[in-house]
Amino acid sequence: MKFSKKGYLRNSPDVNKPQNIIKGGNITMRGVDFKVHGIDNNGYAKVMTPGYDYNFPNAKYVTETPIKNKEMNGPFKMKPGRGNMPKTGKGLPKDMTNPIMLKEKHTGKIVEVTTPSGKKVKLDTRSSEYKSLMAKKKKKNVRSGVGVKDGLYTGMSETGDTQM
């Protein structure tokens, strides 16, 4: 295995090689003009950016591969409207619409509920009033054993005894 001392540094004799092997785990990218993909002998990989120093702990050597082509360097820097996609979601084809947004909206049911004061009211099952009323009823059921049928008090306990 032949090691490169200067790797892909600007004035290195190895700057145009398809791969360089660097001894040890400390890599400097200061003086390198492009991104480099590094993989150490333990299998750990990093994409290294010019101008920074990198460390591969416990590495005996690092295999470097240059990332020079524009497809690898720049897809994340694409400016809006430069690709073949529209700038906003308005012109998206139907099959590219977020499936979550296509779901039917939940419509609550209107149910008749008896309030603690004994008054019967019609409420939407999505309303906060209905939810708080059901929560109160649930707590009351647990404490006193009051029977509930179809969301209404029955006046009977769950054992069938009359409530007094």
pLDDT digits (tens, 9 = 90+) for 94-113: 666 666 565 556 667 888 88
The whole-number pLDDT of residue 74 equals 47
Looking at the structure, tell me whether residues 114 and 55 fall in a common domain. Answer: no
Q: Answer whether residue 78 is part of any domain.
A: no
Share of the chain above pLDDT 70, in %: 60
Confidence of residue 37 (pLDDT cuts 50, 70, 90): very high
Share of the chain above pLDDT 90, in %: 33
Tokens of 157: 């306990």
The whole-number pLDDT of residue 86 equals 52
Residue 43 has pLDDT above 50, yes or no: yes
Give the span between the Cα atoms of 4 and 19, in whole angstroms.
Answer: 10
The whole-number pLDDT of residue 75 equals 45
Single out the residue in 12, 42, 70 at which a domain terminates.
70
Q: Domains in the chain: how many in total? A: 2
Q: Answer whether residue 3 is part of any domain.
A: yes
The whole-number pLDDT of residue 134 equals 82
CATH number where 43 lies: 2.60.120
The whole-number pLDDT of residue 61 equals 95
Q: Answer whether residue 57 is part of any domain.
A: yes
Single out the residue in 43, 70, 97 at which a domain terminates.
70
The whole-number pLDDT of residue 26 equals 93
Residue 146 has pLDDT above 80, yes or no: no
Beta strands in 24-164 (DSSP E): 26-28, 35-40, 45-48, 53-55, 61-67, 110-114, 120-124, 146-149, 152-157
Give the span between the Cα atoms of 59 and 42, in whole angstroms.
Answer: 7
Looking at the structure, tell me whether residues 114 and 65 fall in a common domain. Answer: no
Enclosing domain of residue 60: 1-70
- Distance in angstroms between the alpha carbons of the first and the last residue of the chain: 92
Looking at per-residue pLDDT, the higher value among 86 and 128 belongs to: 128
Single out the residue in 70, 86, 118 at which a domain terminates.
70
Q: Answer whether residue 152 is part of any domain.
A: yes
Angle at 43 between CA 38 and CA 46, to 5 degrees: 30
Give the span between the Cα atoms of 92 and 98, in whole angstroms.
Answer: 10
Q: What are phi and psi of 107, to 5 degrees?
A: -110, 125
